[in-house]
A and B are shown apart, each in its own frame.
Chain A
């Protein structure tokens, strides 16, 4: 007998499943159904959106026939199963409901597809239906392969000691061990309204500093729902994000960094990064392959996400407890090089360098603060603690994530090849480098 887990591709809802029931007098009923989910090796869950006749038959006679179709090659499998119980709450219900909300929202059917209940069935037999053409799809990766990949990535994360190297270990690990080349890591902004990209792999531009609102699309939904959300066949899904790289002129005009995306993505998954019960960010992966994020892969990636969230939270906590992380300004080129102008617009905290949009928010305020201290006081060093206590920075207490903001700022300055850079000179130690004399200007009015 083929195990249910081997049929994981059938549970993606890409090709409708079929359910047959029979009344007490044996008259059958046959209909399509939208969602069948794998519960464990012996049970499946059906979303309860049934027609009345199916529901009445199940009460009279708990035996059902279910036809599952593998969307990769059309192979059919017939299950005989028995109704066990209905659920209208609990983890499984929540997960199915949030998946249904996320996918139906993107289909523009959010109001139509509310989940009323989940029915659990015990599977008695699974039979492959004879095929005139034979099966062509290869089996999905085994549990052992996925576990080995998760072990490799979490092992690398465990070795990393600070935010930037943890993020690199996560994204490189997903590429090297799982083979997922297009990935992004977003951290929750302290105010909790937006997620901001702090690292990515596999896109024409990094998108460092690009933002996604809570609840928006797959990434924002995963953060709000606190569940991973995945789509395995994008052919019917309204696409989100920009496939065309935004020019600097666009960034300057909109004061927005564009979120990168694969133009031909067919599968996407967003996993919340949760540590100590709090959502700290989202890990996002996509690929042009269909059905890449089946349930078993999702489980392995969830292990990586949980480990990543814990490592990032610990690194942030350790950095905030370090008593005196020194930050020095090195002005080697500061007098000799070409002068440049840093402008801060107070109404939205956006920062422009020589007319090019850099960044908004806390990361921008950090840059102005460091540069301002240097210009006003001629100071060469100051501490992490000073930054945290500064009124000018308006860092929300307890949620400041200073290390992450500094990393975001550093990477964005690198990407823009700015005449002012943050260099990491050791663990928790940064230097500010200027390519010429800096002029800092504050503009209060919009424009």
Chain B
């Protein structure tokens, strides 16, 4: 599924990245991503995640591939959710470099909104980085309001 340029830029910007997975008993597990790299034409989003911090979410994706990721901009709650099948791959040097940039940028954005830096530091680990490489099957507008939950319309932009 093609990911347009504006959306790709949003997904790669310093926004909060939260991950939804589920196990064989349909019990959901949550995780946080630390940076995304988008391959627009391939319809793929690579989300870096700390296996140290979120081992169960990683294990679920490894087991069944099902993944939902919501990207939410902290200052105005603009949010998109992408869903599809993901595989767990090793983080490349560019993934790791991109993830470090992301952690610095999103931490600065949160501090700019009045959050203490040690509070935000709890959420962004780069220990044992792995990549959830997601083949996007659907995209939803998740911003609170009338449009919430609607399918993202690529023609609109």
Give A contacts to B, CB under 8 Å: 15, 18, 20-22, 24, 26-32, 49, 51-53, 61, 63-67, 69, 71-76, 78, 80, 129-133, 136, 235
Contacts and interface: CB of A to CB of B under 8 A. Distances in A.
10 contacts: A26-B26, A30-B19, A32-B79, A51-B148, A63-B25, A63-B26, A76-B123, A130-B53, A132-B53, A133-B118
A298 to B, nearest CB: 23
Contacts of A15: 119
B18 A129 contact: no
B114 interface: yes
Nearest to A80: B27
Contacts of A31: 18, 70, 79, 81, 142
A24 B26 contact: yes
B114 A235 contact: yes
B60 to A, nearest CB: 8
B140 A20 contact: no
Given A30-B19, A131-B122, 8 more contacts: A26-B64, A28-B22, A31-B81, A49-B144, A63-B27, A63-B28, A129-B54, A130-B52
Q: Which of B26, B125, B149 has the most CB of A within 10 A?
A: B26
Nearest to A60: B26
Q: Which of B20, B66, B69, B77 has the most CB of A within 10 A?
A: B20
Nearest to A64: B28
B67 interface: yes
Contact of A132 (B30, B72, B121, B148): B121
The 7 closest A-B pairs by CB, nearest first: A30-B20, A28-B20, A74-B122, A74-B119, A20-B28, A22-B22, A65-B28
A27 B118 contact: no
Given A30-B18, A31-B142, A74 B28 contact: no
Nearest to B17: A30
Nearest to A134: B122
B102 to A, nearest CB: 15
A22 B122 contact: no
B45 interface: no
A29 B69 CA distance: 8
Nearest to A55: B149
B127 interface: yes
A131 B50 CA distance: 11
B13 interface: no
Given A18-B18, A132-B125, A65 B29 contact: yes
B100 interface: no
Contacts of A66: 30
Given A28-B22, A130-B52, A136-B118, A78 B140 contact: no
A65 B27 contact: yes
Nearest to A76: B122
A26 B22 contact: yes
B120 interface: yes
B66 A27 contact: yes
Given A28-B66, A31-B81, A133 B114 contact: no
Interface string B13-50: 00000111110011111100000000000000000000
Contacts of B148: 51-52
A6 to B, nearest CB: 17
A64 B72 CA distance: 20
B123 A74 contact: yes
A9 to B, nearest CB: 12
A15 B119 CA distance: 10
Contacts of A65: 20, 27-30
Interface in B44-88: 52-54, 64, 66-70, 72, 77, 79, 81, 83
B28 A28 contact: yes
Nearest to A131: B122
A198 B130 CA distance: 62
Nearest to A27: B66
A129 B53 contact: yes
A30 B68 contact: yes
